[in-house]
Amino acid sequence: MENKITAVQWFIEQLEQKGDASENVSIRRIQISVDVSDYLELKRQAKQMEKEQIQDAYENGVSDENKSNLSGLFTNAEQYYKETYQEVTND
């Protein structure tokens, strides 16, 4: 089975790789400095990855038999995503 990574895990890993991290143990803080353009691109990619993962989960979770029962709700994964997450993902 293929190892997969969530969009959140990927985003965190990318921030840690691209960012200049400094740790202040005495106040229990980690500060990561990332160029704004790098951050915006990572954010865009993570959001796209999350959308694809949600749509894949929808497609994998809805069997052909269930699709006919759900046809009144959503016609496909794209519609499900838009109607479920549209307001959450707007910038």
Q: What is the pLDDT of residues 22-73, one digit of tens each?
A: 888 888 888 889 999 999 999 999 999 999 998 888 888 776 556 555 555 6
Burial bucket for residue 19 (CB in 10 Å: 0-12, 13-18, 19+): middle
Q: What is the pLDDT, as a whole number, of residue 83?
A: 83
On whether the CB atoms of residues 38 and 58 are closer than 8 A, the answer is: no
- pTM of the full structure: 0.69
Q: What is the pLDDT, as a whole number, of residue 68?
A: 57
